[in-house]
Each structure stands twice: as C-alpha cells, then as structure tokens.
Structure 1
C-alpha cells in the first residue's frame, strides 16, 4: 500500500493538432515535476471535439488519427513512468471513433471507444461495444468518455471488472437547449458533478474526471475537473476554470475503508434486477378490455 497522486485536467484543446500535442507534452512535463502519477486529460485533447452536436458537418470534424501515429507516440515519450489517459478521434477501418487511450512510456495499457452517443454524434462516429478495466502502475483502471458516465451500468461494469479508479474523459458542454447565463447554474453543470459523485459512491471507486474548457463552434465546455473519493466526496476540483485537480491518496487503504461496513458490489442481488424494460400495459377500453394496436 502506498500513496499515489491523481490528477484531472480541465483545459481547452482545439483543431490545431501540433499545438495540441505540444500543449499536452508541456502539461505532462509540469505534472511530472509535481509528482503526478496518473494524469487524465479531457476527451478530444488531440484535435478537439465537435462544434455542434446536432447534424455536425463533415467538413468541420476533428482530424482522425492513426493509433500508431506520431501524435500518441509523442504523448507516450513524454509520459515516461507516468500513467496518462488522453482522448482523440481514432481512424479505425474507415470509421471514426471517439477513443480514449491509457499509456506510459512503455506503451498502451488500455483503450476505450465511446459506447453511448448523444444527439447526432452517431451519424459521424462508430460506437464502442465494451467496458473493460486494465492494470496500470497506479492500480486497476477503467475509462469512460463523457456521455458514458450518464449510464450507471458503464461504471458498474468497470467496477465489476476490478477497476479501482474510473477515469472519465469528457468534452462536456453546457446545455444546448436551455443554457444558463452563468456556467455554475447550468443544468448540465449540475448533472456533470452529480454523475461523477454518484458513480464513485455507488461503486466505491475513485473517479478522476477531466473536461474541456472554452468554446468550440456552438458548444461551451464546462471544465469542472475533479477527483472524487469512493464515498462520493470531492477531494480536489478546478470548478469551471482550467487547471489541474490534484490529490495524493492511498488507493488500497481508502477503498478498504469505504467497504469496511457496506460493500456495495458484494451485497448486490443481481437475480432480482430487471435487465429488460417492462412494457407498459395497453390502455384499457371501457369495460376493462385492453386496446389492440
């Protein structure tokens, strides 16, 4: 058992790919000097995210990168002994994917393709089909990409696969339909924080949540990077500003403490859970007969 330093970044990354790579390398170097051992970048760090969730134009999409290309090679070289999670648009077999990769200087430790696709994102990107945890120098880690964390099953799948830390990489904007004048009052701001804390508490894991800041097209990103403990408590946060939320924790000790009385995974009753939605009963005709349709 030992203490490790977890870091979640809030930052702005756009379409200028060389600038994104250089900025990420500089942040890794600075984080290494501060003793960070797990650094989670936002989703779409390399090349930015969509500028519009509704019918995004093919001409404005982020660049799709080769997983074996020079951009991720530069990130790995900078990472060295540090474990780094970073997001980008992956070019895979003629299909784009919103992808997160976790790596060190020794190579790739884990990959996640975003499963849940909001609004019209699915018209431009393929969807992933699995949630898997993997071993890293700081412990067993799983990754989610923004909308994935809305669904409790996503983080639960990682926890059941042994994840001690869930890295949630986001390019999460303010509401596109009912935007508040101030970001902290925005409905999506509240939900972003709620999901981070709920996923940590219900699974008794650490959540290291990054996010984009600034503006891309019609989207204004929330920031709000944070590290959440296994009881759902926010241990460090950037709020809506850019920066690094950093905290030193003993992962094994804190996880054991969180399960000292209540162990949520061990006390599940999966045989009682409905896995398929129940169909609503047909509306009754006068006299109590169901209506055929």
Structure 2
C-alpha cells in the first residue's frame, strides 16, 4: 500500500443534530481538501453523547438514527473517495445502540455497536455483541467505541480478524469521581493515552483515536485525538485542544517493520491462556 493520510478529530458535538451534521460535513470537506484518506470522528458525533454516566437522563438522549436514513446518507455523499468513521446513536427495532459506522462515497463499509458499557450507560443504550474487521480502500479496519478499548480482547479480536488499523471513536471524559483541576493531570487523561498506545503496541497495528472536547451535561471531555504507530509511538496528537491529528504513512510497511523480529499475533501461545477454559494448574 502506498502512503495514505490518516486523520483523527477532536471537537465538540452537541445535541442539535442539524448543527452537528453540518459540522461533521464541514470537517470532512476540509479534510478532503487536505488529502486525508481515513478520517475518524468521535463517538456520538451526530447528536452528541449522554450528559451523565452515573444517572443519564433518559428523557434527554441523543437522537436515534436509522443507518440507512438521511443523516448517514449525507455523510456518505460528502465522503467521496475518503473513508470516514463516525459515531451516532443507532435505532434498531425497539433498541438504541451506541454505534459507529464507516463509509465512503460508495456506501457503508462496516458498522460496530459498543460492547462494553461503563457505569450507567446501559440505562441509555443496549450493548453490542461482536468485534469484526472489514475491508476498506485504506486497508482492513476495525472499530472500537469508548470503553471497548479498555479491554485488550477487543482490539486483539480485531487484529486477529486481519485489521491493520483500529479506529477508536470516543466520548471520553475526565474522571467523574476525582476530577483534576487541569485536564492533562486527570487520571482518565493518562488512561486514555495509555490504552491507545497499549492497544497499538500489543497488536502491532495503527490506532486512529478520536475524542470529544468541551462539555456535555456533567461530563468534561478530554480531547487528545491521536495517531499511534504499531510500536505504540504517538505520531500526531491534538493534546487537550480541538483540531485534527494527522499523519501520512505506509501502513503495511510500518506494520511489517514492527513485526519483522517479534510478531505478537503469530507468536501467541493461546492454549496456555484460554480464558474460557480457565488457568492450567500443574503439580
């Protein structure tokens, strides 16, 4: 694969669906002009996130959208040749999911419903039940939403399914129980960066991590959008401010270089740590 340009968005997206859709499309148009090939938006970019993790107001939830409805169609129309991942609340039958969708101008490439739910999020959303990679014009890709990336098995499942890039879409706030006076000093700020680097390094893949900025209800979001290389190195970051973290790279070449001496996926000895079977005890 020849070099491509990866972009991760840090921005504030509120509850007003028309305004957030216009903002998404505006950022997409600017990114296309700048030659971005893969653009990753935060979780819940279309219509905003919930305002409280402990006790979300279920009367004031983000608008639930049909993935085949007009809002996603507008994102597809604006994407052109660019691959775009964006988060939204998905309406499916009688359920609402915290979801991500990946598109180009040709249509939908892949979807993901957030599997792992922190604290009270289950009051607002149903949980997804799978991690699957899919093919895109920029290579095989998988998506994680927020808390999903806390669990190593999530990214590992995508990597074993052939993903060379993981799009991590987040609405990740500062600590809700012990918030620091400065965002960079907050323990969730440290963990957010740690998980991005660890998931990339342990699987030797590229992580494109997007996040909200600003405030929604009681939540203050961290920003810190970034591109992480397959050795766990941060190649570009917005830090706590809004903006676009971007970098041009040959993903296949970088992954081949990372795996040249130590190949984590092929050198696994999974029979010794089968988590479903339990630990092996020897006398």
Q: TM-score, normalised by structure 2?
A: 0.97
Distance in 2, matches of 1:276 and 1:181, equals: 42
Distance in 2, matches of 1:253 and 1:276, equals: 35
Question: How far is the alpha carbon of 1:224 from its aligned partner?
Answer: 0.2
1:8 and 2:8 aligned? yes
- Give 3-state SS (helix, strand or coil) of 1:29's partner: helix
User: Which of the pair has more CA radius of gyration?
Assistant: 1
Deviations, residues 233-259 of structure 1 (Å, cap 9, x unaligned) = 000000000000000000111110001
Question: How far is the alpha carbon of 1:123 from its aligned partner?
Answer: 1.8
The answer for the alignment partner of 1:152 in structure 2 is: 152
Distance in 2, matches of 1:237 and 1:142, equals: 21
Distance in 1, matches of 2:133 and 2:113, equals: 13
- Give 3-state SS (helix, strand or coil) of 1:73's partner: helix
Distance in 1, matches of 2:247 and 2:124, equals: 37
Matches for 1:50-199 after TM superposition, within 5 Å: 50-199=50-199
Shift >3 Å, 4+ stretches: 276-279
The answer for the alignment partner of 1:39 in structure 2 is: 39
The answer for the alignment partner of 2:216 in structure 1 is: 216
Q: Which runs of 5+ in 2 are unaligned?
A: none
1:261 and 2:251 aligned? no
Question: How far is the alpha carbon of 1:278 from its aligned partner?
Answer: 6.2
Distance in 2, matches of 1:45 and 1:193, equals: 20
Distance in 1, matches of 2:60 and 2:221, equals: 18
Deviations, residues 252-281 of structure 1 (Å, cap 9, x unaligned) = 1111000110000000000000414969xx
Distance in 2, matches of 1:87 and 1:274, equals: 32
- Give 3-state SS (helix, strand or coil) of 1:78's partner: helix
- Give 3-state SS (helix, strand or coil) of 1:134's partner: coil
Matches for 1:237-252 after TM superposition, within 5 Å: 237-252=237-252
Q: 1:4 to 1:124 in 2, by over 3 A?
A: same
Distance in 2, matches of 1:66 and 1:108, equals: 13
Q: TM-score, normalised by structure 1?
A: 0.94
Contact 2:58 2:123 survives alignment (8 Å): no
Q: How many residues align?
A: 279
Distance in 1, matches of 2:38 and 2:54, equals: 34
Distance in 1, matches of 2:6 and 2:214, equals: 23
Distance in 2, matches of 1:159 and 1:277, equals: 22
Distance in 2, matches of 1:137 and 1:262, equals: 28
Question: How far is the alpha carbon of 1:67 from its aligned partner?
Answer: 1.0
